[in-house]
Structure 1
Amino acid sequence: MGLRDSAALLALVLAVTCSVAVAYDPLDPNGNITIKWDVISWTPDGYVAMVTMSNYQMYRHIMAPGWTVGWSWAKKEVIWSIVGAQATEQGDCSKFKGGIPHCCKRTPAVVDLLPGVPYNQQIANCCKAGVVSAYGQDPAGSVSAFQVSVGLAGTTNKTVKLPKNFTLMGPGPGYTCGPAKVVPSTVYFTPDRRRKTQALMTWTVTCTYSQQLASKYPSCCVSFSSFYNDTIVPCARCSCGCGHGGHSPGGCIAGDSKRALSPGVNTPRKDGQALLQCTPHMCPIRVHWHVKLNYKDYWRAKIAITNFNYRMNYTQWTLVAQHPNLDNITEVFSFQYKPILPYGTINDTGMFYGLKFYNDLLMEAGPFGNVQSEVLMRKDANTFTFSQGWAFPRKIYFNGDECKMPPPDSYPYLPNAAPVAAPRSGMIAAAASAFLLALLLVA
């Protein structure tokens, strides 16, 4: 093998390795979105297929304005009709006389319908405005589906050609889809659930998410504080970039300005560009972790999430934390909590999310743009310590994106003797003893 061949092979290996690493999430190694096509019947010039999108990501969901799925036809196929979704463009259908297809584009793009469409335009798991829940948060809401009738296609398993070049936007970039692959046909129940039937043909497409593809800047940052040190460790300066797009200091709004208080500032824009409150970090989201109290057998931390984006509400948000003491969580106040076991046995990662109709909606920047909770954890005598930043999380994710952490050497340091707060019952007993002692001294 010559020098040129060796260099080419090395470049190929590096490209493959980097592409895999970019889309790999160590806290959710099996997370992906799988798009499945089930051919359920043949038509005179093609087939009818049920297309199901299943989100197997534990803590990353698709927010409004929802998903867009696209592909390239292998031949000259057209979409005669869709139930539960619609193509964004019809394309050139001028060659058709009489019945006009729903879409004639070689590269169609399909979006979900809004809730409340007429019943005859709906199917199961459709019409959610493209919003798909994370599997770990809401398994029932992690599926979206539509039915498509395809014409000018094959009418047998041997003549149907699989679509190519699948894309998934949800609602921005970040997803990369692999090729369609034929798999064993899906077996499912008939609508009356009294008989099993089988798809005539099935293929699947797997799409994975890369934060680096979604944006070259982080979308959130983390700050720290503690009861044993007056130092507040802020988000690093320009954590989410400075001077790019709408995040430049000239494009942000001071939180106490008249513009920030005006009702028009929250008006959404079609391009979805953020309108941020002016901060040194310039992040849409800040997560603050405060080590609050130290009991004899337990310790308590407070988590606060603040939204600095005047144009974005975060619905069904998720917060993932990695910390070695999460395996000893005793109580979580005002958030839901679910352990995440990416490797089956190590219980050091957990997902927090809001209580429905209470704080599952994180409002835009302003007085209501924050949610918070406290976490009570039991101490492990073998590992627990407040020294060297042990009480602070190793990683924080918000809505599936990893947040920028402060540098480790900036964490609040532990003084020579950290005070230990007595549990509430102990505090009451101490107060009662002091009162009795005062009575005795007076007597």
Structure 2
Amino acid sequence: MDIRFSRLSVLFLVLLSWTSFTTTDAYDALDPNGNITIKWDIMSWTPDGYVAVVTIFNFQQYRHIQAPGWQLGWTWLKKEVIWSMVGAQATEQGDCSKFKGNIPHCCKKTPTVVDLLPGTPYNQQISNCCKGGVISSWAQDPSTAVSSFQISVGQSGTTNKTVRAPRNITLKSPGPGYTCGPAKNVMPSKFISGDKRRKTQALLTWNMTCTYSQFLARKTPTCCVSLSSFYNQTIVPCPTCSCGCQNSSQSGTCVDNPKISSVVPATSGKNNLEPLLQCTQHMCPIRVHWHVKTNYKEYWRVKVTITNFNYNMNYTQWNMVVQHPNFDNLTQLFSFNYKPLNPYAGINDTAMLWGIKFYNDFLSQAGPIGNVQSELLFRKNPSKFTFEKGWAFPRRIYFNGDNCVMPPPDSYPWLPNATPNLATSPLIILVITLFSFLILM
């Protein structure tokens, strides 16, 4: 009896661990080489330190940093201070009481730096600064996927051998999610003059690499997917509690439509990291609806609608990544920009979509105009195309780099004369196998 109970306990623990396993690894299958690289270039020495240009490169294909922007922090190894900055500022000055006369910009051992806002006077700017911390993704616009600032550091080393790199690098966007590695000494950066006839280089260069994990950023998803089609009246909603559940015992979890006008004006127009959601059964800030709209002889058409349910957030430079096997035959796209993402050579099943500048690249907060729409026209591939078994619906959807919750496949709209393929899931197979094993023991 004890042996059997022990075996049962072990099998139960195996089953529990198998079903509840969640990875915290930052690897992204759709962007395997994506990262943010911070380059710290020392350009000149000063009597008690150095002047450096710090550049943040966003090499992520579809994950950008939106308002209110990035926050970069670190820990000084010695007793360094920041004498001055151009193109950015420290959020706190710290205790500079021991200095007489010339007061440093920041004396904290663990400073936090933010970008300056647009409209900053030119004498306080540097190239690629002053965008409010907003950094585009690399696929959307490489020219704006960079942010820079200049920093004058004192009470540090004044040679390559005595200077020390900052440690414990932190990057917020503006919330958590990024993990940064230690600073590495690399080949000095080189710079080309305006007339392209001369090259100069940094005296010393450090690189720090930061990778993103959705699990570290937040414990719950931020978007979900609903589905519908012309050949079935069923509208498949986002799964219930996709991003959370309405908590009737706690006020302030969401806002019902009749109460919106009394709550929203106080926060309207201001991005707030704490969401104020419209009450829904899915409780997600963002819903993506995929509607199979029309079937032609050689083509088929899809309508995509992105709806914002967050009254505290306007999404600037939003983007969406969709995985579907027919993107290799995408013929036309209306009112969205498009770029294929080919993380693996020879497979074109992943597309990045984003808004057109000054038209719909700004997704307004929840309300009558809190949505954007597009239609996609696909050419049929006779060897692949079918409306059966949910083939016309996406495999995965990401919004602003976060994986959206999909409905279960057996709930997809089916053809009128078809029934869902009740294929046995791996979990059911495992459970049956375990119980069969227990019975035979």
Query: Contact 1:253–1:260 at 8 Å: present in 2 too?
Result: no
Corresponding residue number in structure 1 for 2:434? none
Q: Which runs of 5+ in 1 are unaligned?
A: 1-17, 418-443
Amino acid at match of 2:243: C
Question: How far off its partner does 1:271 sit?
Answer: 5.4
Query: TM-score, structure 2 length as denominator?
Result: 0.87
Matched, 1:33 2:14: no
Corresponding residue number in structure 2 for 1:75? 78
Matched, 1:353 2:357: no
Corresponding residue number in structure 2 for 1:161? 164
CA distance in 2, matches of 1:323, 1:349: 6
Task: Kindly tell me the number of residue pairs found equivalent between the two proteins.
Answer: 399
Corresponding residue number in structure 1 for 2:370? 369
Query: Contact 1:74–1:161 at 8 Å: present in 2 too?
Result: yes
Amino acid at match of 2:411: S
Q: Which runs of 5+ in 2 are unaligned?
A: 1-20, 419-441
CA distance in 2, matches of 1:248, 1:57: 38
Where do 1:189-228 residues align within 5 Å? 189-190=192-193, 193-228=196-231
Query: Contact 2:71–2:174 at 8 Å: present in 1 too?
Result: yes
CA distance in 1, matches of 2:132, 2:60: 19
Q: Aligned to 2:367, what secondary structure does the other structure show?
A: coil
CA distance in 2, matches of 1:399, 1:29: 16
The farther-off stretch of 137-146 and 264-273 is 264-273
Matched, 1:331 2:332: yes
Q: Aligned to 1:212, what secondary structure does the other structure show?
A: helix
Where do 1:112-191 residues align within 5 Å? 112-190=115-193
Query: Over aligned residues, Cα RMSD in angstroms?
Result: 2.1
Residues 265 and 238 of structure 1: is their aligned pair in 2 closer, same or farther, counting only changes over 3 Å? farther
Matched, 1:53 2:56: yes
Query: Contact 1:242–1:248 at 8 Å: present in 2 too?
Result: no
Where do 1:213-362 residues align within 5 Å? 213-243=216-246, 251-255=253-257, 257-260=258-261, 264=265, 266-267=267-268, 272-362=273-363
CA distance in 1, matches of 2:261, 2:161: 61
Question: How far off its partner does 1:248 sit?
Answer: 6.3
CA distance in 2, matches of 1:258, 1:72: 46
Query: Contact 1:49–1:148 at 8 Å: present in 2 too?
Result: yes
Deviations 1:245-291 (A, max 9, x none): x9967531223x15347761543668531111110000110000001
Residues 378 and 247 of structure 1: is their aligned pair in 2 closer, same or farther, counting only changes over 3 Å? farther
CA distance in 2, matches of 1:352, 1:159: 48
Corresponding residue number in structure 1 for 2:25? 22
Question: How far off its partner does 1:300 sit?
Answer: 0.6
Deviations 1:94-134 (A, max 9, x none): 11122111111111100000111111100000000100011
**For 1:105, which of 99, 104, 108 is the aligned residue?**
108
Query: Contact 1:64–1:130 at 8 Å: present in 2 too?
Result: yes
CA distance in 1, matches of 2:382, 2:240: 37
CA distance in 2, matches of 1:195, 1:65: 38
CA distance in 2, matches of 1:30, 1:342: 9
CA distance in 1, matches of 2:121, 2:356: 31
Question: How far off its partner does 1:32 sit?
Answer: 0.8
CA distance in 2, matches of 1:169, 1:195: 36
Q: Aligned to 2:234, what secondary structure does the other structure show?
A: strand
Query: TM-score, structure 1 length as denominator?
Result: 0.86
Residues 263 and 217 of structure 1: is their aligned pair in 2 closer, same or farther, counting only changes over 3 Å? closer
Corresponding residue number in structure 2 for 1:378? 379
Residues 248 and 328 of structure 1: is their aligned pair in 2 closer, same or farther, counting only changes over 3 Å? farther
Question: How far off its partner does 1:23 sit?
Answer: 0.8
Amino acid at match of 2:255: I
Where do 1:386-405 residues align within 5 Å? 386-405=387-406
Residues 377 and 415 of structure 1: is their aligned pair in 2 closer, same or farther, counting only changes over 3 Å? same
| 4+ runs deviating over 6 angstroms | 246-249
Residues 108 and 265 of structure 1: is their aligned pair in 2 closer, same or farther, counting only changes over 3 Å? closer
Question: How far off its partner does 1:199 sit?
Answer: 0.6
